[in-house]
Homo-oligomer: A and B are copies of this chain.
Amino acid sequence: MALSLSSFIELLGGELHGADVAILGVASLDQAGEGQISFLANPRLRAQLQSSLAAAFIVRPTESAALDRPHITTRDPQLYFAKVAQLLYPQPVAVAGIHPRAVVDEFAIVAASAQIGPGAVIAAGAKIGERTIVMANAYIGEQVEIGGDCLIHPNSSIHHGAFIGDRVIVHSNAVIAGDGFGNAWAGDHWEKIPQLGRVLIGNDVEIGSCTTVDRGALSDTVIGNGARIDNLIQVAHNVEIGEHTAMAACVGIAGSTKIGARCQIGGAVMISGHLEICDGTTVLGGTLVAKTIREPGVYSGSYPMQTHDEWRHNAAHLRHLDDLAKRIKQLEKELRHTQLPVGE
């Protein structure tokens, strides 16, 4: 599929400079060639702009004067580029039908336009919406409801009690609505606390590969509209994640914690249970969040890397920081005492 620069402008806005060339694909500045469009968002890459072999560019208006090749100007070239790429590389479109090797229970309701792949298993009472694709060997449990235009990747497991909105992507080997980790100590063993809540996932959510979202214990685990959850993330029972919050890979969120809207959670952040994180909070990668955050802002907390020799010398003192602090206090006291006679 080829699209002209002017067709992008018609659909997405922006201003055309130079010839209205036809575009077949996208690429980075250093790899683009004939028929490809690229973009400059980071001014540090400006040198690549001049040497790039791309057929056209997406740039800020300030770059336009120095650029004598076809380009589109826009305030946010990366966002514009994302939308151009969506047009050139659309999500897969459902090929309506149930593969003969899929196993769909007679009491499941699959929309006529949905596509169910080979080996997929759809249990009794499950509902699959219009144009949704359930790929190979995915498991959709009893009473699960999945909206329209979703993409459920291979080998993912979605259990009873999951409600999933429209245009949701669940990546491969993710697990939605598995049991939460609920155990009561019975003196000499653990008794399992049945996990009876649901998982409610809004519209336009993306759930990464091998990510696990547990069902609630009594009430529900909730992921708001537009949230973006990367790979290998643990979302424990009764967690709530606000709309348009994004979290990078390897994050863990313990039970009943509420994360606000439009937060950005860095990779490997670990968040304790029963906390609240307010809207618009950013937590940098590797931080352990052990208390509620009430003020939006940027938070961090990680041990800085050193050579192992340096670390050994420094980390040893960490165990005695309380002692060092007391010695400083004592020095201050003594010095104040000492200075007096000197001043006389």
Complexed CA–CA distance, A172 and B311 (Å): 37
A288 in complex: contacting residue of B26, B156, B303, CB < 8 Å: B303
Complexed CA–CA distance, A283 and B302 (Å): 16
Question: Contact at A284–B298, with CB atoms within 8 Å?
Answer: no
Measured between C-beta atoms, what is the minimum distance from A169 to chain B in Å? 8
Q: Answer whether residue A132 sits at the interface, using C-beta atoms and an 8 A cutoff.
A: no
Question: Contact at B308–A284, with CB atoms within 8 Å?
Answer: yes
Complexed CA–CA distance, A178 and B101 (Å): 24
Q: Answer whether residue A68 sits at the interface, using C-beta atoms and an 8 A cutoff.
A: no
Q: A139-B137, A155-B173, A250-B234 are in contact. Are A302 and B331 (CB under 8 A)?
A: no
Q: Answer whether residue A232 sits at the interface, using C-beta atoms and an 8 A cutoff.
A: yes
Q: Answer whether residue A62 sits at the interface, using C-beta atoms and an 8 A cutoff.
A: no
* Closest Cβ neighbor of A244 among chain B residues: B189
* Closest Cβ neighbor of A167 among chain B residues: B192
Q: A27-B218, A218-B28, A286-B288 are in contact. Are A234 and B232 (CB under 8 A)?
A: yes
Complexed CA–CA distance, A185 and B157 (Å): 29
Q: A193-B85, A208-B178 are in contact. Are A331 and B325 (CB under 8 A)?
A: no
Q: Answer whether residue A260 sits at the interface, using C-beta atoms and an 8 A cutoff.
A: no
Q: Answer whether residue A130 sits at the interface, using C-beta atoms and an 8 A cutoff.
A: no
Measured between C-beta atoms, what is the minimum distance from A253 to chain B in Å? 9
Q: A103-B118, A218-B27, A252-B268 are in contact. Are A82 and B193 (CB under 8 A)?
A: yes
A178 in complex: contacting residue of B81, B139, B231, B319, CB < 8 Å: B231
Question: Contact at A175–B172, with CB atoms within 8 Å?
Answer: yes
Q: Answer whether residue A18 sits at the interface, using C-beta atoms and an 8 A cutoff.
A: no
Question: Contact at A173–B157, with CB atoms within 8 Å?
Answer: yes
Measured between C-beta atoms, what is the minimum distance from A110 to chain B in Å? 15
A residues 265-321 near B (Cβ < 8 Å) are 267-268, 270, 272, 283-291, 297-311, 313-321
Encode contact with B along A194-212: 1 for CB under 8 Å, 0 otherwise: 1010000000101011111
Q: Enumerate 29 A-B pairs (CB-CB under 8 Å) in ascending A order.
A: A82-B184, A82-B192, A83-B191, A88-B194, A139-B172, A153-B157, A171-B179, A175-B209, A175-B210, A178-B209, A178-B231, A181-B230, A181-B248, A181-B249, A189-B226, A189-B244, A190-B246, A212-B249, A234-B249, A252-B268, A284-B308, A290-B305, A299-B307, A304-B318, A304-B319, A317-B321, A324-B324, A328-B331, A331-B331
